[in-house]
Amino acid sequence: MSTPLVVIGDTLLDRELEGGVERLCPDAPVPVLDERRVRSRPGGAALAARLAVADGYDVTLVTALSADRAGRGLAAALERAGIEVVDLGLAGATPEKIRVTTDGRPLLRVDRGGGGVVGGVTAAARAAIGWAGAVLVSDYGRGVAADPGVRQALLARKERVPVVWDPHPRGPSPLPGVSLATPNEREAARFEPAPSGDGFEARVARALRLCRRWRAHALCVTCGDRGALLVREREGPVLVPAVPASGSDACGAGDRFASAAVGVLAGGATVEDAVIIAVANAADFVASATAAALYRDWSGGTRGQRAAGGNVAEEVIARTRAAGGTVVATGGCFDLLHVGHVRTLEAARALGDCLVVCLNSDVSVRRLKGTGRPVVPQDEREAVLLALGCVDAVVAFDEDTPELLLARLRPDVWAKGGDYLAHELPERHVVEGFGGRCVALPYLAGRSTTTLIREAGARAR
């Protein structure tokens, strides 16, 4: 059984609005963004909790959620991820961080929402903290870490278990005696504004002053792609370099660092080992596009929950829309799945936040392709599709085309691979009738099920 981790802090909704810029606004010298897609994922303490779950820990999140649509969507996403949530209640709207990007580069960030904790610490929150094997305080300056009851419960626990405190300039100081405090460089400068220069010795002096002021056992200043600086009162400083990461999305790297560090400390390792491992994990997080993958996790559910059937597809669609995401559907027979199918499905999934595959049933395939088809029966085709990371749900239909199914599911985007244009798609009138749009995806020439069957037959002779 894994160590029970408790994450305490503010839950946010991270949104990424991605588009292209090709012109300036006529009435002001500002770029005009043509929106392409909006993606969402849990942020703040919720992201740290999600990453700890991915590391294999049993995680309880003590946070404050709003009762609005985004808050309900966050709660559902956390539950799907296997995170037990202790909700203290949020007075205002769900906090959102909206990043506007073009060609992978940030253009603008908009912050909105937020409010105080409604009722303060609860018996459930005290119990969760009291049973914790390790605690991560992921403070985003919105009130949870400042709650007097939460701090009192932590005071009674911090001498018994590792406590990592990831602070925020708008939040309270860490409790005295935490195992490790993890401000980044900018935060450290705001917490300890006394001038100290930019050299190594000056940075060490600043970190040590902050460590003493907070009375932390250790303090680690994270420095992005330059690694991290660890200081302790009676030991020399340790500079941990980072492996250069080629990824462009560093959002969430701090949460990855803190969640990895608390997990390592929970296993009994030293603070130095925890920092070394956390630096490596943060670099991997940026380099491996894990940050982007979590957007898909949030909208489409976890891999183990993908399944076939209309009810499941409608649940996936409802969750995606509750999070403000884009629903994409595609369709076909997918008999003898080949690389052309996979490329088309991946391209379709990239258009939004979940992908539902409308699958021709055995009856439909036989009517369209002839008595020798399908080669692979429907249930096996469904299983193969669901094994792909880009597919969130599969629904079979018996008609020649999925128009009736599309009218029921009402996706935002209908994407189809082939050598035709979007306006030539036979389902166009149905999709546009309920406000959706059609997209024709590139066709990979020379790859088809018919060709595979013919080649296999020729080789068998």
Which residues are catalytically annotated? 255
Strands across the sheet containing 354-360: 307-308, 393-397, 354-360, 327-332, 413-417, 437-441
As a whole number of angstroms, the distance between CA 288 and CA 427 comes to 37
First to last CA, the chain: 56
Tokens matching residue 454: 């013919």
As a whole number of angstroms, the distance between CA 15 and CA 370 comes to 47
Of 348, 325, 323, 317, which is closest to residue 410 (Cα–Cα)? 317
Q: Under a CB-based contact definition with an 8 Å cutoff, are residues 275 and 230 in contact?
A: yes
Q: Under a CB-based contact definition with an 8 Å cutoff, are residues 117 and 93 in contact?
A: no
SS3 content of the chain, % helix, strand, coil (to 5): 40, 25, 35
Q: Under a CB-based contact definition with an 8 Å cutoff, are residues 154 and 271 in contact?
A: no
Q: How far is CA 403 from CA 4, 28, 349, 400, 429, in A?
A: 48, 44, 20, 9, 9
As a whole number of angstroms, the distance between CA 163 and CA 154 comes to 9
Cβ atoms within 10 Å of 64's Cβ, excluding its own: 28
Tokens matching residue 78: 């956390």
186 Cβ contact partners less than 8 Å away, ≥ 6 residues apart: none
Tokens matching residue 48: 């740290």
